[in-house]
Amino acid sequence: MTRPTLRVALIGNPNCGKSTLFNALTGRRQKVANFPGVTVEWVEGSYVHEGTTVSVLDLPGTYSLSPDAPDEVITYDVVHGRAAGLDPVDVFVVVLDAENLERNLYLATEVLELGRPTVVVLNRIDRLPAAEMKVDVVELIHALGAIVVPSVATTQEGLDRVRHCIARAPDVPPSDLRASGAITDGQNAERRYEWISAVMARTVTRTGTRGTRSSDRVDAVLLHRVWGPLIFVAVMAIAFQALFLVATPLASLLQLGLGALSNVLRGVLPAGDFQSLLIDGVLGGVGSVIVFVPQIALLFLFIGALEDSGYLSRAAFVMDRFMRPLGLQGKSFIPLLSGYACAVPAIMATRTIPQTKERLATIMVVPLMSCSARLPVYTLLISAFVPAVTIGYVLTLQGLALLAMYIFGTVAALAAAAVFRRTLLRSDTRALIIEMPAYAKPTMRVLLTTVWQRVAVFLQRAGTVIFAISVLLWAMGHYPRATIDAQIANADAPTQQEAQLAQSALGQVGHAVEPLVRPLGLDWKIGVAMVASFAAREVFVSTMATMYGVPQHETVHTELAARLRDARAPGTGRPTYTRAAAFGLLAFYVFALMCTSTIAVTVRETGGGWQGARWAALQFSYMLVLAWGSAFVVYRIALALGAG
Amino acid sequence: MLDAALCAPSCTLAACFAGDRATVRQLHCTKADAMRLRTLGVYEGASVGIVDRRNGVLLDVCGSRLALDATMAGAIVVDPTPA
């Protein structure tokens, strides 16, 4: 095996195509997006060139080597050899967006002044004709005194030359920008830009007079004070409707597949505990979560398309006006929106927020945004208790109910942020200064790779955490064996199953927590599912599937929803779960923080150690109180309105 | 004494019109924000274009588009450049 011998760091402005170049060089897929901060921490990949292993670091985008936000500090530390646990870098690769050369050269000159081996990659040269620009690369090489390689990372044009130049860079004398006195005052932006202007005059030819760009006409609508927010709300509404309408047939297909697999197992394996463990425990538990993959993939596809098109930065700018009264700025909006997909990367994305207290407040409320793991719980309860009524030709009552869950979470997050910013985390709000990247058509290959990466993480959880919990729950639900009394000895299988569950270890846990959930109109079975889902909230569905012994030969999700809807209390014959209780339970899952990964990342991002643990404890506690209180209020109001 | 920089014909970016060009004279904001603006090309002496100003200000700076909220736009003193 070849040992890494050359360490390379990619540095560049946000949205310069740096991560695309990283993917093209190393073959490793990594998130590419138009909002500053998607590469929230360095990522490493490698390739072999002429027998030498080249290790490549993809650093967070930055506009200069004077860090302003936590993500830029990471780049600063690596560049100056201060990053803990990282070997010094041998070659810097500065990636320039050819279309925005003047601004990109600012960072390039700062890196070149370090006097270290550096390769400058002039990326996106394919966009120059449309931008009515020509760049004299030879003149640029002379001006910078460094290797400059033109390239188009998306089509891999010029990549061989990039690899070749990286390999040769340690043997080439570094740029002497500082020694030559080209830029006499390193801290003076005016001097630096004056020098860059002179370089631009020598190297760039404008082949046309760039008046209003087509993107400006689009921005006139998307950034409009009235149309901007309305378009944003419309985009979100369409997305959530699509989530229900498009994903449902795909989910049904998955359910059929799981059902077929279950039938095969039932035919092959002898009846008994092992068959039950595989079919009811593993397939019932893991399978009931896997069927939500289409919805989760669509959610990630939607957010990814918004990022890659350049719209997300516009949305941040449009939303700034609404965020400011809450003590946050538009940049906080991006992590909040990412929270719809998953709180973990969303919390990491707060590193783009320069002000510490604004960042902390954002971290504290991000988990209130309804993440993809809540989707299985919402879908199950909504399809069980909200009628499938069509409103007009497009809208459905169930789709609207789902949208309502997301709105409740969002409103709660914004309100909680306002409270934090007026109490524990009081400070002035920083002004919004944000680059609007050029609009770009999302590359389907890149988008699908991103979606697959995130779905793979979800499946990994299904294959590990949810698998383990499903097996444990199955065992706790089956042991100790119940003594079936004479009264129900001749009863049907479901009745006997319930008697077994009630006397099992799982049933005893449920009965222990029942006093806490009874005021919410819920029984011990839901109590069990709630306790089990404290590690990961999507476990709620698999727990219910396991407890109700929902067979896999039918559509597990539809079957489980029907079981919940039709469940009757022994003796009274009244519904076990009323609509009021279901709505209360939905409210609980909107607000509760039930995700160990989120808690772990909060600890890390709020300072680590005891300091981080304190913030995470506060986050968990306030959300739990909010969840229980909201569930109680919603249940009582729904009862008063006749939903009992 | 009246600050010469604030005398006519100077105004803030917030008072400029879409389609105008202007030369930045002063940045009346926090040190951190000023440093960020200078890094992005909005430094004293820089020429910027006002693309849109209906919701904050959208600037043409160094060939790229930079959006500033209304408060920040009101803190940047410029000399409008005759067309």
Question: Which pLDDT band holds residue A39 (cuts at 50, 70, 90)?
Answer: very low
Binary contact (B62, A102; C-beta < 8 A): yes
Set of chain B residues whose Cβ sits within 8 Å of the Cβ of A434: 66-67
Over range B4-19, report the average pLDDT. Answer: 76
Q: What number of other Cβ atoms are within 10 A of residue A452's Cβ? A: 14
Domains of chain A: 4-206 (3.40.50.300), 227-375+402-422 (no CATH), 446-640 (no CATH)
| Residues B35, A460: Cα–Cα separation, whole Å | 44
Set of chain A residues whose Cβ sits within 8 Å of the Cβ of B52: 216, 219-220, 223
Q: Tell whether B5 is covered by a domain.
A: no
Counting the structural domains of chain B, the total is 1
Q: What type of residue is A168?
A: R
Binary contact (A64, B67; C-beta < 8 A): no
Q: Give, as one character, the DSSP assignment of residue A133.
A: E
- In this structure, are residues A5 and A48 in contact, taking their beta carbons and an 8 Å threshold? no
Q: What type of residue is A555?
A: T
pLDDT at A42: 61
Q: What's the mean per-residue pLDDT of chain A? A: 84
Residue-wise burial string across A169-180, b where 16 or more C-beta atoms lie within 10 A, e elsewhere: beeeebbebbee
Binary contact (B32, A430; C-beta < 8 A): yes
pLDDT of A483 strictly over 80: no
pLDDT of A40 strictly over 70: no
Q: Tell whether B4 is covered by a domain.
A: no
Domain of residue B77, CATH code: 2.30.30.90
pLDDT at A563: 84
Binary contact (A219, B40; C-beta < 8 A): no
Nearest by CB to A190, from B30, B44, B67: name it: B44
Q: Which is nearest to A377 in space by CA: A161, A538, A176?
A: A538
Which domain, by its residues, includes B46? 10-81
Q: How far is A211 from chain B (nearest CA, A)?
A: 9
pLDDT of A18 strictly over 50: yes
**For residue A342, what are its two tokens?**
């998953």
Set of chain A residues whose Cβ sits within 8 Å of the Cβ of B63: 99-103, 131
Q: How far is B78 from chain A (nearest CA, A)?
A: 15
More confident site: A437 or A245: A437
pLDDT at A249: 84
Q: Tell whether B16 is covered by a domain.
A: yes
Q: Give, as one character, the DSSP assignment of residue A441.
A: P
pLDDT of A124 strictly over 80: yes
Q: Tell whether B2 is covered by a domain.
A: no
Those residues with Cβ within 8 angstroms of residue A293's Cβ, 6 or more apart along the chain or in another chain = A251, A254, A455, A458, A459
pLDDT tens digits for A374-430?
888 998 899 889 888 888 777 788 888 998 999 999 999 999 999 999 999 999 888
Q: Tell whether B33 is covered by a domain.
A: yes
Percentage of chain A with pLDDT > 90?
32
Angle at CA of residue A307, ends A400 and A405, nearest 5°: 20
- In this structure, are residues A521 and A543 in contact, taking their beta carbons and an 8 Å threshold? no
Q: Which is nearest to A424 in space by CA: A603, A165, A622, A587?
A: A622
pLDDT tens digits for A264-281?
998 999 988 898 888 877
Least confident of A56-60, A240-244, A380-384, A476-480: A240-244
pLDDT tens digits for A445-470?
777 877 787 777 777 766 777 788 77
| Residues A532, A594: Cα–Cα separation, whole Å | 10
pLDDT tens digits for A505-557?
888 888 899 999 999 999 888 888 888 787 678 778 877 877 777 764 445 67
Q: Touching check for B75 and chain A: CB below 8 Å?
A: yes
Binary contact (A320, B64; C-beta < 8 A): no
Residue-wise burial string across B28-50, b where 16 or more C-beta atoms lie within 10 A, e elsewhere: ebeeebbbbbbbbbbbbebbbbb
Over range A76-98, report the average pLDDT. Answer: 88
Q: How far is B70 from chain A (nearest CA, A)?
A: 9
pLDDT of B5 strictly over 50: no
**For residue A463, what are its two tokens?**
């294959």
Question: Which pLDDT band holds residue A180 (cuts at 50, 70, 90)?
Answer: low
More confident site: A515 or A604: A515
Q: Touching check for A190 and chain B: CB below 8 Å?
A: yes
Q: Using alpha carbons, list the distances in angstroms from residue A223 to A147, A308, B52.
A: 40, 18, 9
Question: Which pLDDT band holds residue A626 (cuts at 50, 70, 90)?
Answer: very high
**Could you tell me the maximum CA-CA distance found in chain A, to the nearest angstrom?**
98
Q: Give the residue on A whose Cα is nearest the Cα of B63.
A: A100
| Residues A447, A437: Cα–Cα separation, whole Å | 18
Over range A14-38, report the average pLDDT. Answer: 68
Q: What residue has token string 């969303």?
A: A346
- Percentages (nearest 5) of helix, strand, coil residues in chain A: 60, 10, 30
Q: What residue has token string 């790229």?
A: B64
pLDDT at B12: 94
Q: What type of residue is A268?
A: V
